[in-house]
Amino acid sequence: MKRAVPIMVLTVAGLVPLWRFEPTPETTTVVSAPSESTAPTTSAAPSSGGETQTVVAGPTVTTRHGDVQVEVTFSGTRIVSVRMLQQPDSGPTSKAVPQLIEETLTAQSADVDSVSGATTTSEAYVDSLQAAIDGRDG
């Protein structure tokens, strides 16, 4: 009986933070108003190999952590580089961006996995990336 009381008190004390926890929903808002900043922008320049490189900037995607915008460089139909034009200033984002870019170059599409700990940024990255890819095609 002497042990039961402290065990019960510690159990309740350990559960209090769980009861008080209120998760905040992660939301991603795509800026969709028709303006120059939301439309993918395209430019083309010949590369040293003779094939034209096309650079397309995706739209800015606003999240609760900050804006995300990518710039994709194509050589023909192949994605040769991805650069972040805007990204939230956080540790998880800084660690996630190289992984997202590497997966994009491997997949040659916006079909990449979200990075744990940077889910909101990952989703915004994919939205901006897909718009850039679509802007290149269209």
DSSP string spanning 75-106? Answer: ETTEEEEEEEEE---SHHHHHHHHHHHHHHHH
- Residues lower than pLDDT 70 in the chain: 1, 18-19, 21-50, 138
| Strand pairing class (78-86; 28-30) | unpaired
For the chain, what percent of residues have pLDDT higher than 90?
41
**What are the b/e assignments for 105-115, b being 16+ CB within 10 Å?**
eeeeebebeeb
**In order of start, what are the domains of the chain with their CATH numbers?**
26-137 (3.90.1010)
pTM tops 0.85:
no
